[in-house]
Structure 1
Amino acid sequence: MRRRASQRGSAVVDFVLVLAVLVPLFLGILQVGLVLLVRNTLAAAASEGARYAAVQGRGPADGVARTRSQIAGVVAGRFAQDIDVRRVMVDGAPGIEIVVHARVPALGIGGPAVSLDVAGHAVSEEAP
């Protein structure tokens, strides 16, 4: 089948038009996935730090150190800059709460950031 001269190069134009839609869509989905990875990592590290601080013989500073090491080991240490720890009541029992505050770039490395606050709780062990 022969093409007319007016259709010559139309496949390239079609390809570019489709690519202009698909590439930003793909990159957006990838970026959402990365933000969720960081959020889930921060939440897991906060929970682990709270459990570690709640063990008898350990204190809040130990929990913060554990949370920082967990975050730095998986994503980046810059997400572990702002960590708060306090004693709270967890379902009527004394416990520890660790809150991690982080700003995650939402649109690439230099784009605007999304503020995340994740918390982990654990019931403190008591001496028998």
Structure 2
Amino acid sequence: MRARRGEVGSAVVDMALVAGLLTLLVSAVLQLSVVLHVRATVVDCASEGARYGALADRTPAQGAERTRELVSAALSPAYARDVTATTTTVGGREVVEVVVRSPLPVAGLLGVGDALTARGHGLVTGTPP
């Protein structure tokens, strides 16, 4: 079978259009996975910092500092700029709450604003001896 003269080269154009859309779709999925990874990492670091600050011989400020160290080591110091720790009561129990506000990654790890907020809680174990 002979191809019609008007259809010669149309497969190249089809491939270019499909490849462009496929590349865009793959990049969007990869960026979503980066966002989820950053969120999970920041939540884990906030929880670890809260547990550390809730120990009997530690303070909430030490928990916030520990969180900053963990986030800086795992991601970047830019993600650890806004870390606060306070002591609150949840369900009648005293807990240390660490709040991390970090950028939302838009292109790779380059983020904008403080759109991502993660909270970690650690049950205060008691007073030091």
TM normalised by structure 2 equals: 0.88
Q: Which runs of 5+ in 2 are unaligned?
A: none
Q: Which digits, 9 at most, give the CA deviation of each residue in 1:39-94, with x for residues without a partner?
A: 11110000000000001101112111211111112111110000011000132111
The equivalent of 1:105 in structure 2 is 105
Counterpart mapping for 1:1-128 below 5 A? 1-108=1-108, 115-127=115-127
CA RMSD of aligned residues (A): 2.0
Contact 1:88 1:94 (8 Å CA) reproduced:
yes
Q: Which moved more, 1:77-86 or 1:23-32?
A: 23-32
Aligned-partner residue type, residue 73 of structure 2: G
* Contact kept? 1:104, 1:115, Cα under 8 Å: yes
Asked if structure 2 preserves the Cα contact closer than 8 Å seen for 1:54 and 1:123, the reply is yes
Which TM-score applies when normalising by structure 1? Answer: 0.88
What is the DSSP-based 3-state SS (H/G/I as helix, E as strand, rest coil) of the residue aligned with 2:57? coil
* Matching residue's letter, 2:126: E
Gap runs ≥5 in structure 1? none
Q: Where has structure 1 moved over 3 Å in runs of 4 or more?
A: 107-114
Q: CA, structure 1 residues 14+111, in 2 after alignment: closer, same or farther (shift >3 Å)?
A: farther
The percentage of aligned residue pairs carrying the same residue is 38
SS at match of 2:119: strand
Whether contact under 8 Å (1:90, 1:121) holds in the other structure is no
- Give the number of equivalent residue pairs: 128
